[in-house]
A = this chain, B = another copy of it.
């Protein structure tokens, strides 16, 4: 194929004769030139001849919805580092832009990855498209999911225990004297949010004798979503608000101030994740920390285990969160009247 030879020669900045000598394993070529020719094949996208191939790429897809919420880069950093130590590279897929999760899965399969780790993906949304997970299951590709998945999706999972997180937040706030505690969670079909809601209602029933369905709001995971939802909870008399993410909590703080009130003197706010910089926010955020380091490392161990042929059960491992008390929570305001 003369076109191919010419392409490679141009990319490697050598003659076509040299390319030909390298591809046919002829002597008289310096190692530097040989490497440059092989690299040119890689760049253009041609396969290397079988006898010149290095060992097979060992790559793992890492699929996250976005990197703007700092919890996702934190997960990505732990996972990519742990994979590298095991000799794998992480192929980063963020759903920002025009690519869907299913399209990324197709790309990753084309790249012949050894497995995929999903964090915060469509598996967590009961009503989202799940066909690509079914496909991965049929292909027997090693997959690990981070945090709760919809019922039908059966892969090994590593999760922060949402129920414990709610118990910690609720206990902290009742200790501070709060009785009207609101909850802001994600969309209706978001499984980790449903788990938090379930735990929250159980605790409320146990402590307050009557769960207050009026004090729950669902919204999109963003500062703006938290702001909108908190505004509604304030109108209904909440003196404390537990949020299902740190950005939601930052939005709730904003809403309290927009309503002319103070955090924490008038209203306490608790976040979820303890992502980076939460000690630098105004006020420093009290939040439930996900054990990201432990979760990320466990996800990699479970994935590499599958790749190396040791069976890993399709079960969910739960990791304990911890409440980090900072400046956004305080004693409940003294009731008026």
Contacts and interface: CB of A to CB of B under 8 A. Distances in A.
Contacts of A36: 138-140
Interface residues of A, number: 78
Interface stretch (A73-81, A147-155, A201-209): A73-81
Number of copies of this chain that the complex holds: 2
A66 interface: yes
B91 A91 contact: yes
Contacts of A80: 92-94
Given A32-B138, A57-B57, A112-B48, A81 B94 contact: yes
Contact of A111 (B32, B82, B89, B97): B89
Nearest to A10: B309
A4 interface: no
Given A67-B76, A81-B96, A84-B93, 8 more contacts: A11-B140, A12-B140, A35-B138, A44-B309, A57-B57, A59-B59, A89-B93, A91-B91
23 contacts: A11-B309, A12-B140, A40-B140, A42-B112, A44-B309, A45-B56, A46-B56, A50-B50, A54-B112, A55-B110, A66-B77, A70-B276, A77-B94, A80-B93, A84-B93, A84-B107, A89-B92, A89-B107, A89-B111, A90-B91, A90-B92, A91-B92, A92-B92
Interface of A: 7, 10-13, 32, 35-36, 39-40, 42-48, 50, 53-59, 62, 66-68, 70, 72-74, 76-77, 80-82, 84-85, 89-94, 96-99, 104, 107-115, 138-142, 223, 250, 253, 276-277, 280-284, 306-307, 309
